[in-house]
Amino acid sequence: MEDELQWIQEVLSGNKQAYTHIINKYKNQLYATIVRMTKNPQDAQDLVQEAFIKVYHQLGKYEGKGSFSSWLYRVAINNCMDEFRKQRYKMKQVEISEGNILNPNHPEVIFLKKEKNRQLERLIGTLPEDERMIILLRYVNELSYGEISELVELPLSNVRNKLHRAKKKMRDTVKREGGYFHELSNGR
């Protein structure tokens, strides 16, 4: 957090190069979240770039209340939601590339992991936007309930309820359709 505050001060003082530190620290996490929201790698790249441009122009508005990462995610996710509203965004499925799979020497392992990832992406993709975002923030970005509450500007109880409902919907889908996620269907 101290590094971020220093980088922010440098940027605000005119050192535009210091912003590259912020970009490098958050670009992969932000991309991972946005690609799961959009289901389209190219759109996600564009939205991440737009988000970083927006964050750069709004950097002076960061007051130091709460973590910088939560503030950055809020700006980026709000930007995505604005785009969704503008374009009535249609979700597209994205294939999990083999580059993301571990153990490339074992074809069976590759196949099983790809299939599991594909099914999980599909399950998450069936959720409404608000629930999908909370699932991704919690389990992909590993944010706390408090950070998610701050980020999506909802009371903590609403975040917990939406997370519970999203997991229940996913469990119900697994029970109904079957698949790899037996632990979901058992309520874990």
Claim: this prediction has a pTM higher than 0.85: no
Q: What CATH number has the domain bearing residue 71?
A: 1.10.1740.10
- What's the pLDDT at 91? 42
Same domain, 71 and 144: no
Q: Which domain holds residue 63?
A: 2-87
**Residue 188 resides in a domain:** no
Same domain, 80 and 14: yes
Question: By the 8 A CB rule, do 38 and 80 touch?
Answer: yes
Transcribe 124-139 into DSSP letters: HHTS-HHHHHHHIIII
Among the listed residues 126, 128, 125, 103, the one whose alpha carbon sits nearest the alpha carbon of residue 114: 103
Distance in angstroms (rounded) separating the CA atoms of residues 162 and 130 = 8
Per-residue pLDDT of 141-187, as tens digits, reads 778 898 888 888 899 999 999 999 998 988 888 777 765 554 444 44
Count other C-beta atoms under 10 Å from residue 187's C-beta. Answer: 8
**Residue 46 resides in a domain:** yes
Question: By the 8 A CB rule, do 110 and 103 touch?
Answer: yes
Count other C-beta atoms under 10 Å from residue 93's C-beta. Answer: 10
Q: What CATH number has the domain bearing residue 102?
A: 1.10.10.10
